[in-house]
Amino acid sequence: MKFVATEDISAPIDRVWSRVSDIEGFEMRLRSRVDGLTRTPPGPPAEGTTWTGRADVMGKKREMKVVLGQMQAPARLEAEAATDGMAVTLDVELAELGPRLTRMTVTTEARARSLTARLMLQSAKMARQSMAKRYRTRVADFAAKVEKGAA
């Protein structure tokens, strides 16, 4: 299952990148939703940094692991998450449209690696339209915060 959202942000690409690549800020917000979140290795996040913990996924607490993949400033950030037979890839791409205009494309793709995960994705596909709308709304909210300088 794949979701894509694109937003044009009235801000320079460097400002948008600083918000997108604020991994420690995202980590702080995740701590309220993920039990026992730990980062390996300690220190500033970089390519290969891994987080583990327990999160609520599809109504059940599950062990999860997130690995920060590519960080190509100021254009691309990629992360891979895995839990109970499911892999989720997050890809954020930035393109400079002008000195004060940046296009942000966020792609999230979930893939099943087990029968249980396949069944979870099948049931999620039933609610695909509402999930896609929530996804686009969250990306648009983040873009609005970046424009206001508050993300």
13-57 pLDDT, tens digit per residue, is: 999 999 999 999 999 988 888 999 999 998 899 999 999 999 987
User: Mean pLDDT across the chain, nearest whole number?
Assistant: 92
pTM above 0.75, yes or no: yes
Q: What pLDDT sits at residue 150?
A: 55
User: Cα separations (Å) of 85 from 70, 79, 120, 143?
Assistant: 23, 17, 10, 31
Q: How many domains does the chain have?
A: 1
Q: What pLDDT sits at residue 43?
A: 87
Q: Residue 80 belongs to what domain range?
A: 2-148
CATH code, 62: 3.30.530.20
Residues 116-129, mean pLDDT to the nearest whole number: 86
Residues 80-87, mean pLDDT to the nearest whole number: 91
Asked if residues 94 and 74 have their Cβ atoms less than 8 Å apart, the reply is yes
DSSP helix, strand, coil percent of the chain (3-state; round to 5) = 30, 45, 20
Q: What pLDDT sits at residue 15?
A: 95
